[in-house]
A and B are shown apart, each in its own frame.
Chain A
Amino acid sequence: MTGTRNSIHAWLLVLPACVLLATFTHVPIVTTFIHSLYSTPRPRRPSRFVGLDNYEAMLADPIFWKALGNNAVYALTSVPISIAIALIMALFVNGKLRGKGFVRLAYFTPTVLPMIAVANIWLFFYNPQYGLVDQLLRPFGITGVNWLGSQSTALWCLIVVAVWKEAGFFMIFYLAALQNISPDLREAAAIEGASRWTFFWRITFPLLMPTTLFVLVNAVINAFRLVDHIFVMTGGGPDNSTSVLLFHLYTVGFKFFDQAYAATLTIVLLLILALIAIGQFLLADKRVHYQ
């Protein structure tokens, strides 16, 4: 009978975690899904079952497509760029370098700052009259550009902020992984005549693959999740050119109070993230060597 007692014991131990996960993650997802199948309750019109009507409305919503497109551009550019910069910075501060502790700290500082503070700093950088960017570009005859106020530049400005904020954080993971690679490997390769370039592509980069996968998953999730700076810097404008999915969701849910549509967008956002994460793991798993 110890088997039964053991399993009762085990389930009791797992119970708190199960309750917390269910209460704050699983149950909300299910209720959100149910909400997305009903209409938004209004004072005179109670909520009623509408099936997939909300999803059809979403597909007909041009702002949804705009936000989705913006989000794709935002993720497809900010993720690879921040990962590449993180890796380059990590390789740089992993080497023999005077004052590398200071450089590491400098690279990591943006991570420590809250996103709202970061947004305020960059708001100043991008100011068309006295901003840092304007001052730097003035000698080249470029001045008075309203970086955040123009549809063609606003999204790219936000991407730059995201890269600046994220790269230092990812660098820490790469740095830790690099320090785990034995210096003997470099020396063995040097004796065989491998150049630094060869060593990086044939040895270092493959050995960093588990870290790259981890960072990639996190970077993609952040690309959909981090919207604080959009509130401060552009408010989704001009003309929705910086609106991304989560921002659009917030606007629908808390400005227009259309809860049913917000629930619909939430489910779509979750599906997109889940698909990307599963895809990354399935694809990458075969190509990643775990020690």
Chain B
Amino acid sequence: MAQVALAGLTKSWAGLNAVDNVSFTVPEGQLVALLGPSGCGKSTTLRLIAGLEEPSAGTVSIAGRDVTRLAPSERRISMVFQSYALFPHLTVGENIIFGLKVRKVARAERDARLKKVADIVELSRYLDRKPAQLSGGQRQRVALARAIIAEQPVCLMDEPLSNLDAQLRHEMRVEIRSLQQRLGMTMVYVTHDQTEAMTMADIVILMRNGRIEQAGPPAALYAAPQTSFVASFIGAPAMNLVREGKITLGVRPEHVRLGDAPADAVHRRGAVTSVEYMGADTIVSLASEGGRIAARLPGASDIRVGDELTAYWAMSAQSRFDAAGQRIG
């Protein structure tokens, strides 16, 4: 059963559609990532699900119930904010049980749940501290604990890791995903970081200008982008887009080879503009007639900037987009 279902959801401000006719469903126990550049409407979509904004049109259903006109507290959701939204004057423990207190959960049950959740997020030793005395990662855990202890069927996350450094971000990514799977949470996760979306999500929804550009499992978005925007957004470096008359060819850097092209391969000639050594591989970029082409080569490379080379790839490895950026065939 779909835990979260959006149908024709639209939010406009002063005639501009921040969210434009968005529909998708989140199956129970799955993690759906809303991905996109800033201003694409992903955060607004999340806030519409939470009930923090009122939609101009469309409906939101959670656990089979139409909640479009309900207050946030009646939607049976929990939420983790980008800023964590911890109450600075309350201790970690008080922050975590704030919702239980408000909902008048009995003291004994409150304490039992707090103990359990504090163990899960490894905060048992810090329950008496104030948020200001914690590190960024620990604050993030408090916010997480507050969402877990609510035991709501749906958890919403608004860029929860964007205030952490790279190392911690990686750890928390793994941790949130394993928590989500262990506790069977249904999660909608907003991020602008494609690595987070690709590594954590069961389904990635890529948004642009308030609309869904493509929705599907991470591998589908990577292997078969439906539009040239998806192609250029996902992957680091992104898919090469090479003009060929009215259409555009798309090919992943790892499918590009350098050297003498076999007869049945697509090939382009150009001068090397940059060589980036990344350790396990090297990204070599050429300036060809149809546009820049990056190739991912294993290990180090002795290619130098300025070398004239031919880049080629198998016909089967390429995607094709029409003039409007839509995938053909």
Question: A-side interface residues toward B, CB under 8 Å?
Answer: 182, 184-185, 187-194, 198, 202-203, 206-207, 209, 289, 291
Contacts and interface: CB of A to CB of B under 8 A. Distances in A.
Contacts of A209: 89
B69 to A, nearest CB: 15
Nearest to B98: A192
A12 to B, nearest CB: 38
B6 interface: no
A62 B89 CA distance: 48
Interface stretch (B70-78, B169-177, B255-263): B70-78
Contacts of A184: 81, 83, 85
Nearest to B52: A187
B102 A194 contact: yes
Interface of B: 50, 52, 71-74, 77-79, 81, 83, 85, 87-89, 98-99, 102-103, 130, 132, 146, 150
B81 A193 contact: no
A188 B144 CA distance: 12
Contacts of A185: 85, 87
A190 B89 contact: no
A217 to B, nearest CB: 20
A191 B79 contact: yes
A190 B73 contact: yes
A194 B132 CA distance: 23
A182 B83 contact: yes
Most buried by B among A189, A192, A207: A192
Nearest to B84: A184
8 contacts: A182-B85, A187-B50, A187-B79, A191-B52, A192-B150, A194-B73, A203-B89, A291-B132
Contacts of B78: 191
B144 to A, nearest CB: 13
Specify which of A184, A185, A198, A291 lies most central, judged by the most chain B CB atoms within 10 Å of its CB. A184
B316 to A, nearest CB: 49
B71 A207 contact: no
Given A190-B73, A191-B78, 8 more contacts: A184-B83, A191-B73, A191-B79, A191-B99, A192-B150, A193-B73, A194-B98, A291-B88
A206 B99 contact: no
Contacts of A191: 50, 52, 72-73, 77-79, 99
A190 B99 contact: no
Contacts of B150: 192
Contacts of B74: 193
A189 B98 contact: yes
A193 B102 contact: yes
Interface centre among A193, A206, A207 (most CB of B within 10 A): A193
Contacts of A188: 79, 81, 85, 146
A207 B50 contact: no
A98 B182 CA distance: 49
B88 A207 contact: yes
A184 to B, nearest CB: 4
B29 to A, nearest CB: 21
Contacts of A190: 52, 71-73
Contacts of A289: 88-89, 130
Contacts of B102: 189, 192-194, 198
A164 B79 CA distance: 43
A189 B74 CA distance: 13
A185 to B, nearest CB: 5
Contacts of B99: 191-193
B122 to A, nearest CB: 22
Closest 9 A-B residue pairs measured CB to CB?
A: A192-B99, A193-B73, A188-B85, A289-B89, A184-B85, A191-B72, A194-B102, A206-B89, A184-B81
B188 to A, nearest CB: 14
